[in-house]
Amino acid sequence: MSVGRVLALSLLLLAIATLGCKRDLGECNLTGTTSDGTEIDGPAAFDVAYRITDGMPMYEGQALVQSTCGDGAFCHAPGAKGGDRFGAPAGMNFDVSLVCNGDVAGCQTNPPYDDRVQRLNGEQNNIRNWAEGMIQEMRAGAMPPGEAGRRVRNNTPWLRPDQSELPSIDSAEAQEIVRNWLACDAPAIGRTETPPTDADQLQPCGASDEEVICVYSGPAADLPDPNWNDIYWTIMFTQCVSCHGPANDNVDSNPDNPFGDEIPGGASPAALAVLDLSGSNTTDTTNWAEDSYPAVVNASASTAGSCAGQGLVVEVSNSDDSIMVEKMRGEQTCGGEMPLGGLLPQPLVDVVAEWVDLGAPLD
């Protein structure tokens, strides 16, 4: 067993001993094998998946809960307020996003690394406390809540190492993954780094961390070219429009939609009031990149948000003073980081900064 898994197993056994057995959650399969090496059928809590857009790793149960229960922006996200919670009680937060994308020294952003670790630990405890209710609500189809839940959750695909896609939370397979993950006390990958070689992808990081489980990132999609059209479809549409777009139940006729025929949006009315990254055609997203360009480039921060009067969303040829780039770097002086579900890998942020410094071309 790897060093990373030994550390994770030790932490989980301590937590399980402290919290006691959760009778309603069934058996816990941590590693997929018994102590004598016999394989166990079904999902294992340490099974790793990665986000197709950037290779970010999470345990399968962690990924399903994060992408469907809040993803930093809606329902059970700590930052979701009022209507953005869609009925989720205040304080019932389940945010298991990574605390750091890179080495610890490079993650001393706002908030500092130790505060991020404390946030993750607190959210895991929330999940442990509500675990039985969570799985019951999922099985009843009430979490995420029906049509509203399907509309706001992040539909960016998560892949397993064999390239198969994680199932939808509506399926019995996904609910069994979450049940087992909860029964095993909700282990969470907390940090990732770029692997030194392809063979290291999705393996424990070389540098140990006593508080946080670190796993190297998985295969990532090709980086976008430094133009708005590529950046929009690689980053904005997949990571940002769910919050910065209106609710939309239409079937998309755009054949290049990375989500198939689903149109994201509606996760955060508050975020939409600040910045709309959607387009004018509500049944065809083909021109959404071009439509949203004026809302970003040389556009003043909205008076509806906390960055009002602080500068431009994107200041052409000046990435250091562009609010959007500051937020992507975690160096914002107003509001929160972007995207709220966790900072993007540095190579993606670098492409956005390069695009701005090149004059923010549309194509």
* Per-residue confidence (pLDDT) for residue 152, from 0 to 100: 62
* Per-residue confidence (pLDDT) for residue 300, from 0 to 100: 95
* Per-residue confidence (pLDDT) for residue 15, from 0 to 100: 47
Residue range 342-354: average pLDDT?
Answer: 86
C-alpha–C-alpha distance, residues 137 and 87, integer Å? 14
- Which string of DSSP letters, residue by residue, matches 48-88? EEEETTT--EEEHHHHHHHHHHTTTTSTT-TT--GGGGTTP
Return all residues near 232 (Cβ < 8 A) that are at least 6 apart.
277, 288, 289, 292
Q: What is the DSSP-derived secondary structure letter of residue 83?
A: G
Distances (CA, A) of 86 to 93, 122, 278: 13, 22, 21
* Average per-residue pLDDT for the chain: 86
What pairing do the DSSP bridges indicate for beta strands 158-159 and 100-101?
A: unpaired
Tokens of 71: 């993803």
Count CA atoms closer than 13 A to 254's CA, side-chain side.
Answer: 21
pLDDT at 107 > cutoff 80:
no
pLDDT digits (tens, 9 = 90+) for 162-181: 999 999 888 999 999 999 99
* Per-residue confidence (pLDDT) for residue 100, from 0 to 100: 84
Q: What is the pTM of this model?
A: 0.74
pLDDT at 279 > cutoff 90:
yes
* Per-residue confidence (pLDDT) for residue 19, from 0 to 100: 43
Distances (CA, A) of 274 to 142, 154, 194, 246, 334: 29, 20, 33, 12, 13
Tokens of 198: 């392809």
Residue range 37-61: average pLDDT?
Answer: 91
| 53, 341 Cβ separation under 8 angstroms | no
User: pLDDT above 90 covers what percent of the chain?
Assistant: 50
* Per-residue confidence (pLDDT) for residue 13, from 0 to 100: 45
